[in-house]
Structure 1
Amino acid sequence: MSGLIETTRLGMRKFCLDDIDAVYAFSSNVEVQRLTGDPVFQSRQEAEDVIRKIWLAEYKKYGYARYALVHKADDKVIGFCGLKYEPHLNGPDIGYRMLPEYWGMGLATEAVVATLEYADRVLGISKVMGEVLTEHPASSHVLLKCGFKLVQTYSRDGFDINQYQWHK
């Protein structure tokens, strides 16, 4: 696989319009979306819109965005991992999600570690935030294993959120 970031089991690359079905698969999955605060996609058009209007635009504007997370064993886009500029954080936020059949294998931790190394080495980013719904302790555990520290817990848009920070 040719991509931006490689680990033993994963590859990460920029999303493209060929990924509409894959983005729809994980973004329309109620189990995936329920702990993100994001709505469940109802159409492939929503997947195309997020690729075209958000991720492709952010690659151009910031030099980074969420990346397609490819499971090397089956060469399948299983979710995303990557940075996103968040104005309310005045900097990058790390995000990750994947199809449930890939949960519990350490893939999120593997992807986050590789993304942080890429952020530091290639993008020159030494501080990254991460926000997790308080009702999603598994995701908080991933960030803590990757060296993030809890900064605060707050409420926004009806959600209680743990905010974490990573420094190089």
Structure 2
Amino acid sequence: MAGALLADPDGVHDPAEHNDRLLLGLKDTISEAELHLIKQRMWNGRIGKARRGELAVPLPAGHLRLADGHVVKDPDEQVHTVVRLVFDLFDELGLINGVLRFLVDHDIQLGVRAREGPEKGLWVWRRPSRIVIQNMLRRPASAGIYVYGRGRIDPRRRVPGRLCTGCTTSG
């Protein structure tokens, strides 16, 4: 596009002129640095909340966060029964695949609290999967322990359009 002009609150700039190109380049660099500073402040705030134990992380099945931030056991007895069954089966069988096989063979669904959409906040019953059972058994929150920062996201391993990709373990 020839002859195009760029306007901002400071004036009108012509990219064909050397001084205007220099000014636009400086503005771009400054805005990029400001964006980096904002992201860094947000990250530091998140880490500060995590250190104080105030960062709200997703809760495992059977737990509920009240409006004041306190975590309590969910009053739904059916959820507790299924959660207890998963832990008891794992104690007995010792294998996640064994627990999964038992649940699938007996048509037992796992309750998860919907985090978005029209059912947000309600229990949604789903067919069990290996990863859901593994998360139930491995998450410290299931034992009432607050933990943050066990893994990282590597942007080079992210797959566009897929959540939860690029996760690495902090070993």
After TM superposition, is the score higher than 0.5? no
- Find the structure with the greater CA-based Rg: 2
Which has the larger share of strand? Answer: 1
Output the TM-score relative to the length of structure 2: 0.26
